[in-house]
Amino acid sequence: MNPSATRQFRTGLAALAVAWAGLALALSLSGQLFDPPALHLPLRTSVLAGRVNVYRPNQVAAEAGAARGDRLVAVDGVPALRWLRERGLQGLQQGVSNRYRLEKPDGRVLDLELQPEPTPTLPTLATPLYVAQLAVGLAYLVIGIAVWRLRPARADSFALLLFCATMGAQLFLSVESYRAWLGPERLLVNLPFLGATIFHLFTIHPFEPGWAVRHRRVRMLPYAAAGALALLVPAHRALGLSLELVSRVAFFYSVGLGLLSFGILALERHRHRDAEKTARADVVFIGASVSFVPVIALLLFQALTRFAFPTELALLWFVLFPVAMAYGIVRRQLFDIRLVARSSVAYGAATLFITGLFALLIVFADAAVARFRVNAQSPWFQIVFLFFAILAFNPLRVWLQGFVDRVFDRDRLAYRQAVREISEAMVSMLSIREIVNRILTALTDTMGVERAMVLLLDERDATLRPEAWRGAWDPEAIALDLPSDHPVARRLWLRREELWRSEFDDEPDSELRETCREIFDRLEVELIVPILFGVDVLGLIAVGRKLAGERLGADDRQLLRTLANQSAIAIENAKAFDEIAQLNETLEARVEERTRELRDTQHQLIHSERIKSLGQLVAGIAHELNNPIGFVHANLKLLDEYVPRLLELQARGEDTTRAQQAIDKLLTRSREGTERVKKIVEDLRVFSRADRSELAEADLNQEIDRTLALMEPRLRNDVRVRRDYATLPQVRCHAGQLNQVFMNLVMNACDAAGRGGEIQVRTRPTAGGVRLEFEDDGPGIPAALRSRIFDPFFTTKPVGQGTGLGLSLSHGIVERHGGRIWAEESAAGGARFVIELPREPPEVEPAVDAAAGG
Ligand code: ADP
């Protein structure tokens, strides 16, 4: 059957069952309310398993010896059941007595001639038994319908509805009726179905045995048999069967099926390991035992003591069973059911035990009174005795209660474990988001609420705002801004405990009541729990209804409080962690700032290094320029003298050859001087263009020469320079920057070689570019220092002379050209600096340090 057909089929059957129960109720009520007959039986009876039992004889009957608990065997010689069915109240006539044969519990037979009773002033409706039956029947019906409405799509709620409707009908119909046609058959038609529905229910909830899954039709069999049995009721006479027999069969059929169903359930319970389902099975067992065991016990008690117990009280117990079933079906989480049920049973048993002891004591006291002839007339004796008895029993009761608590504490362990897990997880969480989400999962998954939200305090504007939520929330709730001085927030702060919406019901100030309720309504929650840390409210937990629709219990509240406390600590931790992280961040920023300052200083130093080398250059250049300009100047002076003399000679017509030669010589030498000046200035320009220079092809031999030329004045006096050049390929480079490198190396070499030393410059082409070597015959670089000489600020020179930046800058420049620079020991034990450069520098343009280093 496809799902929608199944649903239709079930809905149809459910409606039929409810209609049947409704009809039974209507029949029952009409049997009581409408045209009550003028006369009534002198004995009120109820029918159980084909037996007609007296539960209230009228006064005459009682005086004649009839008593509650007697069995009505026959009326006017007709078996009681049949008489009730066939004649009923119509068989009574004013002034005519009937013969009632009663059977006492001890088997004695009593025949009574009794007049019918005039219609009682009180209708039967008001008798406790009838009220109890109606109430219990209605309870069954209501529970069945409610569960069906709450869990419409489920097979077990359908089965429960069928069972409840049948049971309700049974209860409605088993009330004695004034009308003959509403006689006992009604009951017999319904009774077999009761067994079938129990079988149906227990083979679906909570376990569906394998065979029932494989052969779904098996469940139909009891219904079919019940139908056949029901058909026997109208047909029994035609078949020659007594109604009593049919009644017996129907009764035992139902009871038998009921027991079988319990057996099946017990077997499945034994076989299954699924904790959730076995818990549900336990609910069924607990429900059944709480519901039926007392009734059975009462019946047993009645049978054994021949004491007619008020059946109506026993009947009320029956309600507990559908309640338990409904609970098991409807509730999604059976968080603590076993615990609650078992502890209540245990408390009940303990109480019963104490009551029994107490009763025993009183019996004993009574005996004592009789025996010792104490003046029992005086009430004081009893009061004093009771007082001491209660005094003595209280410690026992306390002890028993404690014992029960301890026993059930073991079950709480599981619950506590859940709480502990949450706490442990939270302690290690350092993100508020994570903590909040953990709370929400705990609420929705462990506690089973449909929606939950955590609001946190935004300290900047003292407002509580939703931080995270689970379940369906409408946007209005999510947009909530709750100022921390809102009455709800204030009350939570003052109260330091959870707050229920219902607490505002009694608030006399209507404005306050509405402002507070508005918050709950907007969030659509019943309960708000504060997250407290010290005196502060860090946030709120808003908790929706439980999925099962029930109220939050004591355990839930405990869990909520624990969660709130734990999360408060965790949130504080996370905040502290955040602060440290922030501090760390600023620390980083500060370090960066320092680094920047240092870098600035470094730049300044680099700058001063350049100024230093420039200073050296300038000194050299000044010297260099001084010479040519000096003699150009002197020559010009001479020219100043020679030219007028030449003119004079010419004017006199004398030989001017010598004078001309002298002037020519002067001019040539002057030109040589200005040439040199020009060359020096040109080299200087190349050097000064270093910062801005573009990448360009250069012959590095020429570039080295240029540097050497500029340094010549310094070199000339101190050291000899030997050039060992090979033809080099063109290299794309920033020539100005490389000039700086060469100058650094040559200057270092000069420093190392000292006066009279020698520097060798060697250039060679390589596979990919060029190799340049600057070698000196100085003391060389100790191996231990070789790795450090390229470090910025590393210098072995006296303060004021070395900056320790020359090599580090050179290293940077060479690297940016895609080359390598290193120092090694020369053959003579001096230092040799080797540079290898590719013909093409890598793509990346020298950026930051180019300006500083070039
Ligand atoms: P500075 O010359 O200002 O000290 P450099 O970075 O140019 O800075 O050099 C760093 C150090 O390397 C020098 O102080 C020196 O100890 C060593 N050094 C450099 N070149 C030579 C060389 N040719 N021979 C021996 N030591 C050298």
Between 414 and 304, name the one with better pLDDT: 304
User: pLDDT at position 852, please?
Assistant: 38
Q: Say how many Å lie between the CA of residue 719 and the centre of ligand 1.
A: 17
Nearest CA to 271 out of 208, 338, 355, 361 is that of 208
Q: What pLDDT digit, counting tens, does each position of 720-755 carry?
A: 999 999 999 999 998 888 888 998 899 899 889 888
pLDDT at 849 over 50: no
CB 196 within 8 A of CB 226: yes
Ligand 1, residue 774: give the atom nearest the CA.
Answer: 23
Find all residues with CB under 8 Å of 258, minimum gap 6, and list them: 194, 195, 198, 199
* Weakest-pLDDT range from 73-82, 533-542, 841-850: 841-850
User: pLDDT at position 854, please?
Assistant: 35
What 3-state DSSP class applies to 473? coil
Tokens of 518: 């508005």
Q: pLDDT tier at 670 (50, 70, 90 boundaries)?
A: confident
Ligand 1, residue 796: give the atom nearest the CA.
Answer: 14
User: pLDDT at position 155, please?
Assistant: 86
Give the residue, by CA position, lying nearest to ligand 1 atom 20: 748
Q: Return the axis-axis angle of helices 510-523 and 487-495, rounded to nearest 10°.
A: 90
Rounded percentage of the chain residues whose pLDDT exceeds 90: 16
CB 762 within 8 A of CB 798: no
The phi, psi pair for 754, rounded to 5°, reads 75, 180
Tokens of 770: 């060029």
Give the residue, by CA position, lying nearest to ligand 1 atom 16: 796
* Weakest-pLDDT range from 19-33, 387-401, 511-525: 387-401
CB atoms near residue 524 (< 10 Å): 17
Ligand 1, residue 801: give the atom nearest the CA.
Answer: 3
Nearest CA to 67 out of 106, 41, 104 is that of 104
Q: Say how many Å lie between the CA of residue 731 and the centre of ligand 1.
A: 27
pLDDT at 292 over 80: no
d(CA 830, CA 810): 20
Q: Return the axis-axis angle of helices 155-173 and 185-202, rounded to nearest 10°.
A: 160
What 3-state DSSP class applies to 350? helix
Q: What pLDDT digit, counting tens, does each position of 776-785 carry?
A: 999 999 988 8
Give the residue, by CA position, lying nearest to ligand 1 atom 19: 748
Q: Say how many Å lie between the CA of residue 793 and the centre of ligand 1.
A: 10
The total number of residues shown for the chain amounts to: 854
Give the residue, by CA position, lying nearest to ligand 1 atom 2: 802
Q: How do strand 820-825 and strand 831-838 relate by DSSP bridges?
A: antiparallel
Q: Say how many Å lie between the CA of residue 808 and the centre of ligand 1.
A: 10
CB 612 within 8 A of CB 800: no
Q: Say how many Å lie between the CA of residue 617 and the centre of ligand 1.
A: 18
Write the single-letter amino acid at 735. Answer: A
pLDDT at 85 over 50: yes
| H/E stretch holding 712 | helix 700-718
User: pLDDT at position 49, please?
Assistant: 63
- Strands annotated E in 104-209: 109-114, 117-118
* Stated pTM of the model: 0.42
Q: pLDDT tier at 309 (50, 70, 90 boundaries)?
A: low
Between 585 and 684, name the one with better pLDDT: 585
d(CA 446, CA 333): 8
User: pLDDT at position 307, please?
Assistant: 55
d(CA 329, CA 157): 7
* Weakest-pLDDT range from 144-158, 370-384, 701-715: 370-384
Ligand 1, residue 802: give the atom nearest the CA.
Answer: 3
d(CA 294, CA 314): 7
d(CA 191, CA 184): 11
Q: How far is CA 436 from the centre of its chain?
A: 8
Ligand 1, residue 744: give the atom nearest the CA.
Answer: 7
User: pLDDT at position 853, please?
Assistant: 38
Q: pLDDT tier at 324 (50, 70, 90 boundaries)?
A: confident
Give the residue, by CA position, lying nearest to ligand 1 atom 26: 781
Q: How do strand 758-765 and strand 720-724 relate by DSSP bridges?
A: parallel
3-class SS string, 372-425 = HCCCCCCHHHHHHHHHHHHHHHHHHHHHHHHHHHHHHHHHHHHHHHHHHHHHHH
Q: Say how many Å lie between the CA of residue 740 and the centre of ligand 1.
A: 15
CB 261 within 8 A of CB 198: yes
Ligand 1, residue 830: give the atom nearest the CA.
Answer: 24
Tokens of 397: 């009761």
d(CA 73, CA 26): 29
Q: How far is CA 470 from the centre of its chain?
A: 9
CB 541 within 8 A of CB 439: yes
What b-and-e string marks burial along 401-429, b requiring 16 or more CB atoms within 10 Å of the CB? Answer: eeebeeebeeebeebeebbeebbebbeeb
CB 822 within 8 A of CB 810: no
Query: Taking residues 209-213, what's their average pLDDT?
Result: 85
DSSP assignment of 11-33: HHHHHHHHHHHHHHHHHHHHHHH
Give the residue, by CA position, lying nearest to ligand 1 atom 17: 789
* Weakest-pLDDT range from 1-10, 15-24, 310-319, 508-517: 310-319
d(CA 9, CA 480): 47
Q: pLDDT tier at 163 (50, 70, 90 boundaries)?
A: very high
* Weakest-pLDDT range from 35-44, 464-473, 594-603: 35-44
| H/E stretch holding 131 | helix 128-150
CB 47 within 8 A of CB 83: no
pLDDT at 189 over 80: yes
Q: What pLDDT digit, counting tens, does each position of 325-353 carry?
A: 887 777 655 545 555 666 666 777 777 77
Q: What pLDDT digit, counting tens, does each position of 363-374 carry?
A: 676 666 666 655
Q: Say how many Å lie between the CA of residue 708 and the centre of ligand 1.
A: 18
d(CA 839, CA 768): 6
Write the single-letter amino acid at 641. Answer: E
pLDDT at 126 over 70: no
Q: How do strand 482-483 and strand 463-470 relate by DSSP bridges?
A: antiparallel
d(CA 759, CA 778): 9
Residues pairing with 776 in the sheet: 759
Nearest CA to 548 out of 165, 830, 146 is that of 146
Nearest CA to 267 out of 251, 252, 285 is that of 285
Across 78-82, 335-339, 703-707, the highest mean pLDDT is recorded for 703-707
Which of 807, 821, 822, 824 maximizes ligand 1 atoms within 8 Å of its Cβ, making it the mutation to test the pocket? 807
Tokens of 263: 């057996």
Which of 748, 751, 825, 832 maximizes ligand 1 atoms within 8 Å of its Cβ, making it the mutation to test the pocket? 748
What 3-state DSSP class applies to 832? strand
Q: pLDDT tier at 850 (50, 70, 90 boundaries)?
A: very low
Give the residue, by CA position, lying nearest to ligand 1 atom 14: 795
CB 105 within 8 A of CB 70: yes
Nearest CA to 320 out of 344, 304, 351, 339 is that of 344
Q: What pLDDT digit, counting tens, does each position of 526-561 carry?
A: 889 999 888 888 899 998 887 765 567 667 777 788
Q: What pLDDT digit, counting tens, does each position of 407-416 carry?
A: 665 545 555 6
Ligand 1, residue 805: give the atom nearest the CA.
Answer: 6
Residues pairing with 542 in the sheet: 453, 528
Which of 777, 789, 826 maximizes ligand 1 atoms within 8 Å of its Cβ, making it the mutation to test the pocket? 789
Tell me the average pLDDT of the chain.
Answer: 80
Nearest CA to 832 out of 783, 791, 770, 780 is that of 780
pLDDT at 851 over 50: no
CB 264 within 8 A of CB 203: yes
Query: Taking residues 207-218, what's their average pLDDT?
Result: 85
Cis preceding-peptide flag for 379 (omega within 30 of 0): no
Give the residue, by CA position, lying nearest to ligand 1 atom 12: 789
Which of 795, 799, 801, 834 maximizes ligand 1 atoms within 8 Å of its Cβ, making it the mutation to test the pocket? 795
Ligand 1, residue 803: give the atom nearest the CA.
Answer: 3
Query: Taking residues 12-18, what's their average pLDDT?
Result: 93
The ligand 1 site (C-beta within 6 Å) comprises 744, 748-749, 752, 776, 778, 780-781, 789, 794-797, 802-808, 831
Find all residues with CB under 8 Å of 267, minimum gap 6, and list them: 209
Ligand 1, residue 794: give the atom nearest the CA.
Answer: 10
Q: Return the axis-axis angle of helices 806-816 and 554-652, rounded to nearest 10°.
A: 100
The phi, psi pair for 787, rounded to 5°, reads -80, -10
Q: Return the axis-axis angle of helices 155-173 and 128-150, rounded to nearest 10°.
A: 160
Ligand 1, residue 807: give the atom nearest the CA.
Answer: 6
CB 529 within 8 A of CB 561: yes
Write the single-letter amino acid at 530. Answer: P
Q: Radius of gyration of the chain from Cα atoms?
A: 57
d(CA 472, CA 87): 64
pLDDT at 180 over 80: no
Between 292 and 800, name the one with better pLDDT: 292
CB atoms near residue 498 (< 10 Å): 19
Phi-psi region of 107 (alpha: psi -120 to 50; beta: other; left: phi over 0): left
Q: pLDDT tier at 564 (50, 70, 90 boundaries)?
A: confident
Q: What pLDDT digit, counting tens, does each position of 628-666 carry?
A: 788 788 888 888 888 888 888 888 888 888 888 888 888
Query: Taking residues 4-26, what's their average pLDDT?
Result: 90
CB 127 within 8 A of CB 44: yes
